[in-house]
Structure 1
Amino acid sequence: MARHLLPVGLDFIETAPLRLVFAREVSASPGAVYRALAEDVEGWPQWFSAVTRARPAEAGADGPRREIRLKGGGRFLETIVSAEPDEVYAYRVDEANAPGVRALLEEWRITPVPGGARVQWTFAADGAALFLAGVKVGRSGLGRAFRDAVGNLERRLATAAA
């Protein structure tokens, strides 16, 4: 059953009770990374192995939305809260089937670096104590998933450019 989460704004990135931040540099341009994140939603499962399905959803009152399914059965309905080309792509989760979560916002920040881009992913959450403890325990797994996904994305973008 889907749970409705709090409709947090982009400022939640700074105020969330739990914030996890991961970063990795890639040889792809900021524009190519942004397009893969924001414009090729259905392509996410091809580079982010935790994602089994991603697709745009009917827009909500607060803007564009997308549906995400994860390995293990996680389902999310998200609203895009920031889409600044070549710089930031952020979304909040409006509905989830995960227990204990009250609010969740993810931000992908893209910064130019010599030879490519630095991709930073911030996972900001609030929830029951057990949920927050579980996320903290799973921090290394989330970090590994992020690094693997961005590495896969880098290879995919390099292949597309060739």
Structure 2
Amino acid sequence: MPWFTLERFDPTFFDTAPHRHVYVMDLPVAPEAVWRGLAGDAPLSWCRGLAGGRYTSAPPHCVGTTREVTATRLLRLREEFLHWEEGRRHSFLVTEASLPLFRRFGEDYLVEPTPTGTRFTWTFAFEPHPLLARPAALTDLPNGAFLRTLIADTKRHFGAA
């Protein structure tokens, strides 16, 4: 299978990316439970659109940790963490993808305690591959639909309405 290399970026990309989707969820479970689901051995295993999420570097996980995941059965991604604050926040950038869809892509996960559980903020940031830049507005609709499925699965998994 061919792999396509994506451009690296620094954490400011999560605020400046041409395409950003930010989802804030209040979940009725302890922050530790949310963190285990996001950073454990089978990250995001409850999401129907993701499969085979596994770390490719040995614990302990931290900045520089690598992981692979398959999205929608078609797109394999190799990820590298550029921020890791144990129990609270981590962010990754995609270093390689099996399809040339993105120039840059990454996600940021923020887990914060609330009086009733956890506020989980999930940010997706991307820049399409230059060949797809012009129709990116058209492709953002199915992309957004896929992301909303991940959010719905996460809410259902943690018992949120």
TM-score normalized with structure 2 length? 0.83
- Give the direction of change, closer, same or farther, for the CA distance of 1:22–1:43 in structure 2 (3 Å limit): closer
CA contact (8 A) 2:48 2:150 kept: no
The verdict on how the C-alpha distance between 1:101 and 1:143 changes in structure 2, with shifts beyond 3 A counting, is closer
Report the number of matched residues.
Answer: 151
- The answer to whether structure 1 residue 97 and structure 2 residue 98 are counterparts is yes
* RMSD between superposed Cα atoms in Å: 2.0
In 2, Cα distance between equivalents of 1:132 and 1:9: 22
Residue equivalent to 2:27? 26
Contact 2:21 2:125 in 1 (8 A): yes
Structure 1, gaps ≥5 residues long: 156-162
Tell me which residue corresponds to 2:48.
49
Q: Name the CA distance, whole Å, in 1 between partners of 2:110 and 2:57.
A: 25
For 2:67, the equivalent position in structure 1 comes to 66
Deviations 1:114-156 (A, max 9, x none): 210111111101123156324421254134213222124315x
Gapped regions of structure 2 (runs ≥ 5): none
Contact 1:37 1:89 (8 Å CA) reproduced: no
User: Where does residue 112 of structure 2 map in the other structure?
Assistant: 111
Which structure has greater helix proportion? 1
Q: Which amino acid aligns with 2:142?
A: G
AA partner of residue 145 (structure 2): G
Q: CA deviation at 1:77?
A: 0.3
* 1:104-143 to 2 correspondences below 5 Å: 104-127=105-128, 128=130, 129-130=133-134, 132-138=136-142, 140-143=144-147
Question: Helix, strand or coil: the match of 2:42?
Answer: helix
Matching of residue 148 in structure 1 with residue 147 in structure 2: no
1:111 shift after superposition: 1.7
Distance of aligned partners of 1:86 and 1:94 in 2 relative to their CA distance in 1, 3 Å threshold: same
